[in-house]
Amino acid sequence: DTAVSQTPKYLVTQMGNDKSIKCEQNLGHDTMYWYKQDSKKFLKIMFSYNNKELIINETVPNRFSPKSPDKAHLNLHINSLELGDSAVYFCASSQATPGSGYTFGSGTRLTVV
Amino acid sequence: DAKTTQPTSMDCAEGRAANLPCNHSTISGNEYVYWYRQIHSQGPQYIIHGLKNNETNEMASLIITEDRKSSTLILPHATLRDTAVYYCIVSRGLTGANNLFFGTGTRLTVIP
């Protein structure tokens, strides 16, 4: 079983559209994250979320919003997509204890045309 | 923001030990050292982490200097599948703020 799974794996869409990327983890972790990896391969954290708090990287536009229906899911909604949103988005999860490692999903390649 | 410095790239002969250095001179007492790797745009993969003591697992060994200002990740017998970008990260790993900030990493190429 895949520990952290993301869907879809690839997403091609037009500018201005609204899209969602789903993430599910079956590890029983209580904290989930979204990262963005741009064309220069820099991995940047976007959000971290557990059932108590959402921490947002201040550089993330408010067009991006995480939504968590339950502890095992953290979906990423993106409104009014722009060309610069094209990137690979990675979901991850961890246990909220010091020293816990992260488990990453395999990524969603988003292309905005 | 990343608080580590790593060489941009390294080569290693297949079957030899790969030693990847990392400087983290501003590390604080409650920060862990984590190592992750990313193979060709796959999701980053956790390798190992440590606080003060040296650590070893089935993938690698982590040597942390006594002053904790630097560390070395050791892959004892590098294979072609170990070719990847290796990230050294320091983090407090606190509840709800386990945020890992990735730097540019070291691109390790294992040569046949």
pLDDT tens for residues A41-82? 888 989 888 876 787 777 889 999 999 888 899 999 999 999
Q: Cβ B85–A41 below 8 Å, yes or no? A: yes
Residue A20: alpha-carbon gap to chain centroid: 10
Task: Give me the pLDDT at residue A56, please.
Answer: 74
Q: Name which of B36, B98, B104 is nearest A31 (Cβ-Cβ).
A: B98
Q: Name which of A52, A92, A99 is nearest B96 (Cβ-Cβ).
A: A52
Residue of chain B with shortest Cα separation from A104: B43
Q: What angle do CA B74, B76, B81 make, to 5 degrees?
A: 95
Residues B72 and B62: their CA atoms lie apart, in Å, by 6
Residue of chain A with shortest Cα separation from B48: A101
Per-residue pLDDT band at B94 (split at 50, 70, 90): low
Q: Cβ A42–B96 below 8 Å, yes or no? A: no
Task: Give me the pLDDT at residue B29, please.
Answer: 85
Interface of B with A (CB under 8 A): 30, 32, 34, 36, 38, 41-46, 49, 51, 85, 87, 92-102, 104
Task: Give me the pLDDT at residue B97, please.
Answer: 52
Q: What is the mean pLDDT of residues B74-83?
A: 97
Residue with tokens 């037009």: A14
Query: Which residue from A25, A30, A21, A19 is spatially nearest to A5, judged by alpha carbons?
Result: A25
For the purposes of burial, counting CB atoms within 10 Å of the CB of B26, is it exposed (0-12), middle (13-18) or buried (19 or more)? exposed
pLDDT tens for residues A12-33? 999 999 999 999 999 999 889 9
Residue with tokens 């200002």: B69
pLDDT tens for residues B41-71? 799 999 999 999 899 999 999 999 999 999 9
